Protein backbone atom coordinates (compact mmCIF):
# COMPACT_ATOMS: atom_id res chain seq x y z
CA UNK A 1 0.00 0.00 0.00
CA UNK A 2 1.31 3.44 -0.88
CA UNK A 3 -1.21 5.40 1.19
CA UNK A 4 -3.84 4.85 3.85
CA UNK A 5 -6.97 6.99 4.13
CA UNK A 6 -10.01 7.11 6.37
CA UNK A 7 -13.55 7.22 4.96
CA UNK A 8 -15.58 8.65 7.86
CA UNK A 9 -19.27 8.35 8.65
CA UNK A 10 -19.78 4.83 7.35
CA UNK A 11 -22.25 2.76 9.32
CA UNK A 12 -22.29 -1.01 9.59
CA UNK A 13 -25.05 -3.07 11.20
CA UNK A 14 -26.50 0.03 12.86
CA UNK A 15 -23.21 1.21 14.38
CA UNK A 16 -21.27 4.36 13.46
CA UNK A 17 -17.72 4.04 12.23
CA UNK A 18 -15.36 4.47 9.32
CA UNK A 19 -13.72 2.53 6.51
CA UNK A 20 -9.96 2.06 6.40
CA UNK A 21 -8.96 2.53 2.76
CA UNK A 22 -5.59 1.56 1.34
CA UNK A 23 -4.25 2.57 -2.06
CA UNK A 24 -2.55 -0.57 -3.34
CA UNK A 25 0.16 -0.10 -5.98
CA UNK A 26 -0.26 -2.69 -8.73
CA UNK A 27 2.22 -4.06 -11.25
CA UNK A 28 0.73 -1.67 -13.81
CA UNK A 29 1.90 1.29 -11.66
CA UNK A 30 -1.69 2.27 -10.91
CA UNK A 31 -3.31 2.26 -7.50
CA UNK A 32 -6.31 0.14 -6.63
CA UNK A 33 -8.44 1.44 -3.76
CA UNK A 34 -8.95 -1.37 -1.23
CA UNK A 35 -11.31 -1.10 1.74
CA UNK A 36 -9.29 -3.04 4.29
CA UNK A 37 -12.22 -3.04 6.71
CA UNK A 38 -14.49 -1.07 8.99
CA UNK A 39 -13.78 0.24 12.49
CA UNK A 40 -16.37 1.35 15.02
CA UNK A 41 -16.21 4.88 16.41
CA UNK A 42 -14.83 8.13 15.11
CA UNK A 43 -11.19 8.07 16.21
CA UNK A 44 -9.15 7.27 13.09
CA UNK A 45 -5.99 7.07 15.19
CA UNK A 46 -7.17 3.56 16.13
CA UNK A 47 -6.97 2.35 12.52
CA UNK A 48 -4.36 -0.38 12.13
CA UNK A 49 -1.46 0.51 9.86
CA UNK A 50 -1.42 -0.94 6.36
CA UNK A 51 0.84 -3.94 5.86
CA UNK A 52 4.11 -3.28 4.07
CA UNK A 53 5.74 -5.20 1.25
CA UNK A 54 3.99 -7.36 -1.31
CA UNK A 55 0.39 -8.23 -0.49
CA UNK A 56 -2.31 -10.30 -2.16
CA UNK A 57 -5.92 -9.17 -1.86
CA UNK A 58 -9.09 -11.18 -2.38
CA UNK A 59 -12.40 -9.41 -2.41
CA UNK A 60 -15.34 -8.05 -4.33
CA UNK A 61 -14.95 -5.40 -7.01
CA UNK A 62 -17.20 -2.42 -6.36
CA UNK A 63 -18.05 0.51 -8.66
CA UNK A 64 -16.62 3.93 -7.88
CA UNK A 65 -18.81 6.02 -5.64
CA UNK A 66 -20.09 9.48 -6.45
CA UNK A 67 -22.07 12.14 -4.58
CA UNK A 68 -25.33 10.25 -5.27
CA UNK A 69 -24.12 6.88 -3.93
CA UNK A 70 -25.91 5.44 -0.91
CA UNK A 71 -24.12 6.13 2.37
CA UNK A 72 -21.78 8.76 0.92
CA UNK A 73 -21.18 12.12 2.61
CA UNK A 74 -19.97 14.40 -0.16
CA UNK A 75 -20.03 17.65 1.82
CA UNK A 76 -16.24 17.99 1.72
CA UNK A 77 -14.09 19.90 4.18
CA UNK A 78 -12.62 16.73 5.69
CA UNK A 79 -9.28 16.76 7.53
CA UNK A 80 -6.12 15.62 5.75
CA UNK A 81 -6.03 11.85 5.37
CA UNK A 82 -9.80 11.51 5.01
CA UNK A 83 -12.03 11.21 1.94
CA UNK A 84 -15.81 11.14 1.69
CA UNK A 85 -16.09 9.28 -1.61
CA UNK A 86 -14.28 6.13 -2.78
CA UNK A 87 -13.82 6.95 -6.44
CA UNK A 88 -11.06 7.65 -8.91
CA UNK A 89 -12.08 11.29 -9.28
CA UNK A 90 -11.79 11.97 -5.54
CA UNK A 91 -8.55 10.00 -5.11
CA UNK A 92 -6.60 11.16 -8.16
CA UNK A 93 -5.16 14.25 -6.47
CA UNK A 94 -4.05 12.27 -3.41
CA UNK A 95 -1.45 10.16 -5.23
CA UNK A 96 1.06 10.51 -8.04
CA UNK A 97 -0.28 7.34 -9.69
CA UNK A 98 -3.30 6.77 -11.92
CA UNK A 99 -6.24 5.31 -10.00
CA UNK A 100 -8.44 2.40 -11.07
CA UNK A 101 -12.10 3.34 -11.49
CA UNK A 102 -13.55 1.01 -8.86
CA UNK A 103 -12.50 -0.43 -5.53
CA UNK A 104 -12.17 -3.73 -3.70
CA UNK A 105 -13.73 -4.68 -0.39
CA UNK A 106 -11.73 -7.50 1.18
CA UNK A 107 -13.40 -10.86 1.78
CA UNK A 108 -11.61 -11.01 5.13
CA UNK A 109 -10.79 -7.82 6.99
CA UNK A 110 -7.37 -7.34 8.45
CA UNK A 111 -6.74 -7.69 12.18
CA UNK A 112 -8.72 -5.22 14.27
CA UNK A 113 -11.17 -4.46 11.45
CA UNK A 114 -14.58 -5.80 10.41
CA UNK A 115 -15.15 -6.86 6.78
CA UNK A 116 -17.33 -4.51 4.72
CA UNK A 117 -20.01 -6.48 2.84
CA UNK A 118 -20.03 -6.08 -0.93
CA UNK A 119 -22.83 -3.94 -2.33
CA UNK A 120 -25.14 -5.85 -4.62
- CA–CA distance, 108 with 117 (Å, rounded to integer): 10
Q: What is the pLDDT of residues 7-45, one digit of tens each?
A: 999 999 999 999 999 999 998 899 999 999 999 988 676
Q: What is the pLDDT of residues 69-95, one digit of tens each?
A: 777 766 677 888 999 999 999 999 999
- The 3-state DSSP class for residue 112 equals coil
* Threshold 0.85, pTM exceeds: yes
DSSP 16-66: -EEEEEEEEEPTTSEEEEEEEEEEESS-GGGSPPPPPS-----EEEEPPP-
Delimit the domains of the chain by residue range: 3-106
- CA–CA distance, 3 with 34 (Å, rounded to integer): 11
The predicted pLDDT at position 10 comes to: 92
Long-range contacts of 66-74 (CB under 8 A, 24+ apart): 70/119, 71/10, 71/11, 73/8, 73/9
Amino acid sequence: YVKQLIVPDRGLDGADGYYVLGLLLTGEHKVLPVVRGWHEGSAPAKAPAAPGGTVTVTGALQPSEDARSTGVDATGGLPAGQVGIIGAASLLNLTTYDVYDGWITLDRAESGLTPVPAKT
